Chains A and B, each alone.
Chain A
Amino acid sequence: MRFEINKDKLLYHLLIAQKALSNKTPNPALQGVKLDVEKDALVITTSNAEISIKIVVEDASLSVESEGSVLIPGKYFIEIIRKLDGQMVHVSHVEDNLIRIEADHSDITLNVLELDDYPNLVFKEKDESVKINVRTLKTVIRQTAFSTSTIENRPILTGVHLQIDGKTLTAVATDSYRLSRKTITLDAEYDPMNVIIPGKSLEELMKILENNQEDVTVHFDQSRVLFKYANVSFLSRLLEGNYPETERLIPQEFPVKITFNKEALMLAIERASLLSKHDSHNAIVKMTLRQDDTVTIASNSPEIGRVLEEIHPVDEVVGSPIKIAFSSRYVLEALKSFASSEVAISFTGETRPFVMTGEFDEAMLQLVLPVKTD
Chain B
Amino acid sequence: MKKYQIIFHVDLNAFYASCEASRNPALKNHPVGIAPRSDRGILTTANYAARRYGVNSAMNVIEAKRRCPHIKIVPPDFALYETMSSQFFERLRLFTDQLEPASIDEGYMDMTEDANTMHPIKRAEMIQKDIMDNLSLPLSIGIGPNKFLAKMASDMKKPLGITVLRKRNVKSKMWPLPIEQMHGIGRKTVPNLKLLGIHTIGDLATYKNITKLSRFLGNQTESFIRRAYGDDDSVVDPSRAETVQSIGNSKTYEGYLHTYDAMLEALEGLTKTVVRRLHDGELACKTITVQVRFSDFTNHSKQLSRSHHTERHVDIIEAVEHLFDALYDEKPVSLLGVSVGHLEKATRLFRQLNIFEPETPTKTSNVDTLLERINAQYDKPLLKKGFKSSS
Interface of A toward B, CB cutoff 8 Å? 149-153, 174-177, 179, 244, 246, 249, 277, 284, 300-303, 325, 327, 351-353, 367, 369-374
Contact = CB atoms under 8 A, between A and B. Distances in A.
A302 B37 CA distance: 20
B36 interface: yes
A369 B307 contact: no
B354 A176 contact: yes
B356 interface: yes
Nearest to B83: A303
Contacts of B322: 152-153
Given A177-B307, A353-B353, 8 more contacts: A153-B304, A177-B354, A177-B355, A249-B355, A351-B359, A371-B353, A372-B351, A372-B353
Nearest to A249: B355
B349 A176 contact: no
Contacts of B350: 284, 325, 371-373
Contacts of B80: 302
Interface string B80-99: 10110000000000000000
Majority-rule SS of A interface residues: loop
Q: Which of A246, A303, A325, A327 has the most CB of B within 10 A?
A: A303
Interface of B: 36-38, 75, 77, 79-80, 82-83, 304-308, 318-319, 322, 349-356, 359, 362
Nearest to B79: A302
Given A151-B305, A151-B306, A303-B79, A374 B37 contact: yes
Q: Across chains A and B, which 5 residue pairs bring their CB atoms closest together, nearest first?
A: A369-B353, A303-B83, A351-B359, A372-B351, A302-B79
A373 B83 contact: no
A249 B355 CA distance: 7
Contacts of B305: 151
Nearest to B288: A153
Contacts of B82: 303
B306 A177 contact: no
Nearest to B308: A177
Contact of A244 (B83, B304, B356): B356
Contact of B38 (A174, A351, A374): A374
A369 B355 contact: yes
A371 B38 contact: no
A153 B318 contact: yes
A373 B355 CA distance: 17
Contact of A372 (B38, B304, B355, B359): B359
Contacts of A151: 304-307
A284 B319 CA distance: 25
A284 B349 CA distance: 11
A373 B304 CA distance: 26
B36 A369 contact: no
